Amino acid sequence: MKKLFLYWFLFFLFSNGYAQTTRSLEQRADSILRLMTLDEKIGQLNMETGNWDATGPILKSGDKIIAIKNGEIGSMLNVKGAKNTRYIQSLAMQSRLKIPLLFGLDVIHGYKTVFPIPLAQAASFDTATIRKVAEVAAKEALASGIHWIFSPMLDVAHDPRWGRVMEGPGEDPFLACAIAKSMVEGYQKPQHGLHLMACAKHFAAYSAAIGGRDYNTVDISEQTLQNLYLPPFKAAVKAGISSFMCSFNEINGVPSSANRKLYDILYNDWHFKGIVVSDWGSIGEMVTHGYSKDRQQAAQQALSAGVDIDMESYCYTDFLKKLIQNKSIDESLIDHSVKKILMQKLALGLFDDPYRYCNEKREKEDILSPENKAVALNMARKSIVLLKNTNNLLPLKTVRHIAIIGPLGNSSRDMDGNWVVLSNQPIAVTLLEAVKKRFPDATVDYVKGCEIQGSDRSNFEAAISAAKKADVVLLALGESWDMSGEAKSRGKLTLPGLQEELATEIYKVNPHTITLLMGGRPMIFNKIAKQAPAILYCWWLGTEAGNAMTDVIWGNYDPSARLPMTFPKEMGQIPVFYNHKNSGRPPVDVKGNYSGRYIDIDYKPRYVFGYGLSYTAFRYDNIKVSHDKDSITVTMELTNTGNYDGTELVQIYLHKKWGEITSPVKELKGFQQIFLKKETSRLITLKVALSDLSYYGVNSWRSASGDYTLFIGKNSDDTIYQTDLQL
C-alpha cells in the first residue's frame, strides 16, 4: 500500500497537469526533496562524463549505467545528440524517483556551426552580433539534447602566454561586461519552448596565473580582484545567468573550489540563486594544492563554501555520507544544493517531459542550417582586424593569377581553432577553397612553403617561384589549432617554425603580398610587422573562415574589428596592457633617466588595445561633453571622408586623476559602432553611466566623484579629443 501511494504521488507530482498549477518551483522542489534518500540527494551533486568523442559507446563503463539507474548521478557532460541523450535519460527514468539528468557540454564558440573564437568575437566590439551568435549556438545545442553549456568564459586576461585567452573577452573589464550580458541573453533566450542554462566561468581570476602558466597560482590584491576580474561575473548575474563554474586556481592561498570569500560575494553581495559546479576534478585537486588534508576534507570544504556539484572528482559521492554520519556537516547543507538543482530541472521542464529536448527531427533542421552559416559568416567578417595597409593595397581588385602560400592556406581543421564540438569531418571553408570558388576563371596556385612547426626549408623555392609568377600573394601563417586553449600556454609568442623566415623571402619577390595571421592569442611578428605591405589578423574564424577572409580582402566588407588585447613587441614586456597605472616614475622616451623603462628593449607594445584600421577614413567634429547626476553625455558629428562605406568604433576612455586608491591611466567606459556610407555624416550621442565609474577602494566600493580626464580615441593610445571633468 505504501509503495502504491508513492507511485501515485510521483505521477501526480511529475505529470504535465501539475506544471500548470500555481505552485512555485521552490514548492515543487521541496516536495521532491522530502521523498529522497540521502544517497539520492548526494547523487544529484555528482556530475560524470560520457565518452568524450562519442564515436563509440556513449558510456564506456557499465558501472555508470548502474549508477544512473540507482539515482547516483545527477548530471552528465560530453553526451550529445538527441538519440544519445534520449538513451541516457531513459536510464535515469528507471531510477526509483525518476529524477531526470542534466546534460552539459563545453559549447565555447558554437556547436556544429563553428563561430570565431571568443577573443575574435570580442574584437568585433559588436555586442548585438555576439548575442545572435550565442542564440544560434544555443539553438543547435538545444536541438541535440543539451540543457547546459559551460560558457561564457569571462576571464579578463593581461597575459597572452596563457592559452585560454582564446576563450575569453580580452583585457578590458568594461568590454567583458558588455559581452557577458550579450552572451547570457543570447544563450538563455527561450527557443521552441526550450531553455538553455549558461555558465559563467571561471570563478575567479583564473587568467591571472603567474607566468601565464595554466592552472598556476594567483596572487593579487583585493582591489585588482574587485575592479578587474570580478565585474564581468557580476554582469552575468545581473543578466540572469543560471550557473557558475569554479576556477582551478587558488587566490591568495585559497583554492577557488573552497574559497568562502568568493561565494560570499556571489551569494550574499550579488544575490545569485543558481548552481555552482566545480571544474573538472578541481575539488579533489585541493589536496594537490596543499590546502586540503585529504579528499574527504576537500568535499567538506567545497560544499561548505557553496559549490553545489562535483564534476569528475567523486569527492562528494565518496565522502558526503560519511561527513554527515560523523556530524562534520549537516544534511541541510546538502538539501540546499539539491533543491537548487531540482529547481533548475523543473524550470527546464524536464520533470514534465524528460525527453522534450531529444528531438531528432528538430536536430536535423537546426544544425548547420544556411541561416546559421550566414550568422557565422557575418561574425567572422566582423572579427578580422586590419593591422597594416601600405599604399592602400587592400582591398584588392579582380586579379588573374593568385598565389596562396603558407601552411594555413588549406587547413580546414585549423580554421575552427580549439574548443569545438569534435567532429570526424572538418567542414570549415579554407582560404584556398573560398578563393577558387570566388574566381573560377583565375589561376590559383597553392604552395605550403613550410609546415607550421619544424625546420624543413625544402619547399621554400616552390613558394618563391609561385610568388614571382602571381599578381598577388595571400600568405597564410600562424598557430595550429592545438597551440591555443586549455593547457596550451606558450613561453614564446613568435610565429612558430620557419614561417616568418618564409614571409621575408616572399616579400622580396612580390610587393603585392597580403599577410593573413591566424591564431588564438596575440603573437609577436616583428619582421612581418615591419616588412609586410598589408596584414590582416584573422584569429580562428570557424565554419565560414575562408569566405570571410575573401570578403574582406576583396572589399565586400570593410574591416571594422579592433584589438581586444594588447600585442607585445617583445616577450620581456609581458604582461603588457593598456589599463596599467602610472607609478611615481612612469616610463619616458629619454635615455639615461630614472623612469620605468627597460634599458635593452622598448617598453611600448606593437599594437595597442582598440587598434585597427579601415579601408575608409573618419573625421570627428563638434565634440561636446556634458554631465549630470547620472551620466556623462558626449555628442559629436562623425563623417566618413573616405572612398568606401565603413564602420567606425568610437571609443571613450576616462582617467581618475586622484582618489582613495590610484587608478589606471585610461579605462574604456563607452564605445559605439557607427556605420556610415562614404561622404556622409551623422550626429551621434554616447552616454557614460556614472555607476560605471564606481570602484573598489581601500576596503569598500566608492561612487564616481572627483577630477577626471575624458579621452575620445581611435584606440587606447591615439587620442582625438580630451577634456577635464569634475564629478
Query: CB under 8 Å, gap of 24 or more: what pairs does 284-292 form?
Result: 284/313, 284/314, 284/315, 285/248, 285/255, 285/257, 285/313, 286/255, 286/257, 286/258, 289/250, 289/255, 291/250, 291/253, 291/254, 291/255, 291/258, 292/258
Other Cβ atoms less than 10 A from the Cβ of 522: the count is 26
Its sign, for the CA torsion 279, 281, 284, 285, is negative
**In sequence order, what are the beta bridge partners of 254?**
251
Other Cβ atoms less than 10 A from the Cβ of 455: the count is 9
Rounded to whole angstroms, how far apart are CA atoms 524 and 529?
9
Helix, strand or coil for residue 550?
helix
- The half-sphere exposure of 555 on its side-chain side, counting CA atoms within 13 A, is 13
Other Cβ atoms less than 10 A from the Cβ of 438: the count is 18
What single string gives the DSSP state of each residue in 614-633?
A: -SS-EEEEEEEEEE-SSEEE
Residues across the chain: 727
What single string gives the DSSP state of each residue in 575-617?
A: S--SS----SS---S-TTS-SS--SSS-SS-SB-TT--B-SS-
Picking from 464, 344, 358, 351, the residue whose alpha carbon sits closest to that of residue 81 is 358
Its sign, for the CA torsion 164, 151, 308, 44, is negative
Rounded to whole angstroms, how far apart are CA atoms 543 and 100?
34
DSSP letter assigned to residue 429: P
SS (H, E, C) 79-147: CCCHHHHHHHHHHHCCCCCCCCCEEEECCCCCCCCCCCCHHHHHHHCCHHHHHHHHHHHHHHHHHCCCC
Q: Residues 155, 279, 416, 558: which is the catalytic one?
A: 279
Grid coordinates belonging to 596: 620605468
Picking from 231, 100, 243, 109, the residue whose alpha carbon sits closest to that of residue 166 is 109
318 noted as active-site residue: no
Other Cβ atoms less than 10 A from the Cβ of 22: the count is 5
* Max Cα distance, the chain (Å): 93
Q: Dihedral (C-alpha) 119, 254, 661, 269: value to the nearest 10 degrees? A: 80
Rounded to whole angstroms, how far apart are CA atoms 40 and 331?
13
CB 179 within 8 Å of CB 131? no
User: Which residues, other chains included, contact 233 with Cβ-Cβ below 8 Å and sequence gap of 6+?
Assistant: 154, 180, 200, 203, 204, 244, 266
By annotation, the residues acting in catalysis are: 279
